[in-house]
Amino acid sequence: MFINRRQFMQLSGNLVLGASLLGSPLVLGQRGGVRAAPGMPVPEFVPTNGIEMAVYEQGSGPAVIFCHGFPELAYSWRNQIPAVANAGFHCLAPDQRGYGLTGGPEDPALYDIGIFCDDLVGLMDARGIEKAVFCGHDWGGAVVWAMPRLYPKRCLGVIGLNTAAGRPEGLPPAADARANDIVMTPNYYVATFMEPGRAEAVLEADVRKTFEFVLSGGGSGIWNAEAFAQLPTDSAERQMDLLSMLSREDPPGEPFLPDAEMQYFIDTFEATGFTGGLNWYRAIPRMGAVFADAASTIDVPCLYIGAENDVILPPYSANGMEDFIADLEKHTVMESGHWTQQEKPEEVNRVIIEWLQRKIA
C-alpha cells in the first residue's frame, strides 16, 4: 500500500518479568536481553492493555507523558525527563508497544492508533493519573494528537514535536497548505515498510550502520531543507527511499549522538529487532476507522515544535492547525533535523518548560 506522510499521520506479548528483575541491569525483552537505559530512572513495569509497559518515571506534580517515535525508545527523552521533573512535573516515558523493554505481540493488527492510546490510558489508570499532558515526537506525535480527540477527558494539553496534528475529516484544505518537497513514489519509506520482512532485512543487516544513517543531524545529508529541495527528483534522497540509501556502502548523513548514547540504541535494537516498530506502519490500513466517532476539535492547550531541517515533517506541515485547535502555540527550532529533542535538547527543554509553567502548572 502506498500513502503519503500526511495521510499516514492522520490515520503481549512475550515480555516476561518477575518482581526480582526490577532494577536489574538486564531483563528479558521481546527478543533476548535488553538492558535498562543508562542515566535514566530505574524503569517499572506497568500492566496495561495486555502488555507489560516499561516506564521511566521521575518527579511530582501535573503528569507529562512522553511518547517516542520510530526507531526510538524512551531513552530519546533522556534530556527532557530530569529537566521537566525539576521544573515541577511528574514525568513518565514508556518504551512503547513493540519497543525495547516493553516488547509486544507479533500480530500487526494489534498496533493501531486507538490501541496506542488505550495503552496510555491503562498506564494512567495504573498510576492513578486522571489527566496528563501528552508530549510526542514522530510516531509518538501521532499518538499524542490522537489523545484529545479520542480521550478528551484525560488530557490537560498536548505537545507535538515535529509531528503536526492530522486534519479532521470534513474540514476544507488549509488556506496556507503547502506540498512537501518529497517526491512521492512507491519507493517512499512508508510503502517499503509495509511488506513483512522487507525492511527488517535491510535495517537488521548492520544495526550500527542503520542508526548511524538514521540518527543524522540537521544540516547534514538529507537533513538540510534547502539542499534537499535541490536534489534530483529521481534520487533516492528526494523520494525518501530510506532502504535504498541504507543499502549503499556509504549512506548519506553524519551521526550527531555521542558514541555511548548511540550504542544504547544499537544494543537494544540488535536484541529486539525492528519488527515491533515496523508493525506501527503495517497497521496503518486499519487506522482510519479509529477516528470515525472522534472529536473534530482539540480543546486543550497545545504546543507544536517544528524543526527547520526536518524534510519529512517540515514546520509548514503544521499550517492550518489553528482551524481546529483554538489554543495553539508554535515554535521552530533552527538548525535541527528530525530528531529535535536529541539534537537541540536545551532549546526544546526551555520551550516545553516555559509553556508548561504558563499553561499547565
Active site residue 259: no
Q: Kindly give the pairing relationship between strand 63-67 and strand 132-137.
A: parallel
Task: Name the strand (E) or helix (H) holding 26.
Answer: strand 26-29
In this model, does residue 37 exceed pLDDT 80?
A: yes
Indicate the pLDDT class of residue 9, thresholds 50, 70 and 90: very low
Mean pLDDT, residues 110-139 taken together: 97
Residue 211's domain comprises 5-18+25-359
pLDDT of residue 287: 74
pLDDT of residue 28: 34
**What cell does 217 get?**
543531524
**Distances 275 to 200, 251, 269, 272, 341 between C-alpha atoms, Å:** 7, 22, 10, 8, 24
Instruction: Report pLDDT digits (tens) over 16-36.
Output: 233 323 333 333 333 358 999
Catalytic option among 68, 90, 137, 338: 338
In this model, does residue 315 exceed pLDDT 90?
A: yes
pLDDT of residue 5: 42
In this model, does residue 11 exceed pLDDT 70?
A: no
**Distances 245 to 139, 142, 212, 229 between C-alpha atoms, Å:** 21, 25, 12, 17
pLDDT of residue 219: 78
**What cell does 203 get?**
535495517
- The count of domains in the chain is 1
Mean pLDDT, residues 84-93 taken together: 98
Q: What is the mean pLDDT of the chain?
A: 90
DSSP 3-state of 164: coil
Indicate the pLDDT class of residue 215, thresholds 50, 70 and 90: very high
Contacts of 174 (CB under 8 A, 6+ apart): 167, 319, 320, 323
pLDDT of residue 218: 79
Mean pLDDT, residues 99-128 taken together: 96
**Helical ranges in the chain per DSSP H:** 5-10, 80-86, 113-127, 139-150, 189-192, 198-203, 207-214, 225-229, 242-246, 259-272, 275-282, 340-343, 345-359
pLDDT of residue 100: 97
* CATH at residue 147: 3.40.50.1820
pLDDT of residue 2: 37
Catalytic option among 138, 181, 241, 310: 138
Active site residue 338: yes
In this model, does residue 337 exceed pLDDT 90?
A: yes
